[in-house]
Amino acid sequence: MHSISHNIALMAELIQLAYYPDQGDRHLDLYYEGDEIRPETWDLKHEEHNKTQVLLGVSSLGRRAVVFPGTNELADWRTNLRVRPVEHVGLPGKWHEGFMTSAVDILDHVVLPFLSRTQGPILIGGHSLGGALAGCLSALLAVRSHGEHVSDVTTWAAPRFTTGPGSAFLEVYYGGRATRIFAGFDIVPHLVPAGILFLRYRHAFPLLYLGTGGKLSTAYTLRTRLRELVLALSTRGLQVIGHHLFAHYLTWTRTERRARHGS
C-alpha cells in the first residue's frame, strides 16, 4: 500500500501558503518525522521577480524550502503559453521556453542569493505552473553545484516541461528524492500535449497517482485513463476543474495524514 511521506505532506502545506503572498511573511509550526512527532517551525518569506512568485523558508530543524504556486495572476499565462522547446546550456534535451526562462530568472535573482546565506537540505516543490517551475529549477540546481543539497522535489499536477533527454536526466539525478503527484480528472498534467506539432515534451520524476477513490498508485494505466475519460465526459465532468484546484490536493493530503497517524 502506497502512502505519502511527511515531506510531501509538508510541501502541501507550504504550497497552500505560497498562493497567498498578500498575507505577508509568517511562521508555520509543524510536524512529523518518521513515527515520532517532532516540532518544526518554519520562517517563511514571499518573494517575486518579474511576476514569478516563490515562497522561501528556513526551518528550526535546519532545512530550507523553495516553493512555487501555480497560475496566480494574468502575467502567468504569458509563461504558460510560451511553449517553444529551447535548449539550455549544460542540460540535455529541450525545455518549455516559458517555464525555463522564468526558472532561470528566479534562480539568479532570488533563489541563489537565498541559498548563499542559508544552509541545510533543500526541499523544492510547486503546483501546476509551479510544479513545472520546480522541475526546471531542480534541473538548473543539478548543474550549478546545488543539486546534491536537494533532499526532496515534489511536483503537484505539473504540466510537461521537458523532452525525453531532460526527463531521463532528472530521473537519474534525483532518483528516489523526487515525486510527481496528480489526481484523477485533473487535465493539467496532460499538458503540454506530447507529440503535437513540434512538441515532444515528457513528464519527469516517479509518479504517485491519486485515483478517483482516493487510492494511491505508482501506475497510470491505459485502462485507468479510459475510465477517467468516460467519467470526465459524464455528468461528473465538472470535476475536471475542481480536481486541479490545490484545495483538492491539500484536503486529500490532510485526510490521508490523519488516517495514517490518527491525528
Q: What is the pLDDT of residues 76-129, one digit of tens each?
A: 999 999 999 999 999 999 999 999 999 999 999 999 999 999 999 999 999 999
pLDDT tens readout for residues 122-139: 999 999 999 999 999 999
User: Which of the two residues, 31 and 157, has the higher pLDDT score?
Assistant: 157
Closest CA to 13 of 36, 29, 24: 29
| Domain count within the chain | 1
Tell me, yes or no, whether 113 lies in a domain: yes
Question: Could you give the maximum distance between any two Cα atoms of the chain, in Å?
Answer: 52
Tell me, yes or no, whether 179 lies in a domain: yes
Tell me, yes or no, whether 147 lies in a domain: yes
Rounded to two decimals, what is the model's pTM? 0.88
Q: Beta 178-183 vs 207-210: how paired, if at all?
A: parallel
CATH number of domain containing 184: 3.40.50.1820
Sheet containing 95-96: order of strands: 85-86, 95-96, 162-163, 201-202
Expressed as residue numbers, the domain containing 148 is 6-261
Tell me, yes or no, whether 1 lies in a domain: no
User: Which of the two residues, 95 and 233, has the higher pLDDT score?
Assistant: 95
Tell me, yes or no, whether 132 lies in a domain: yes
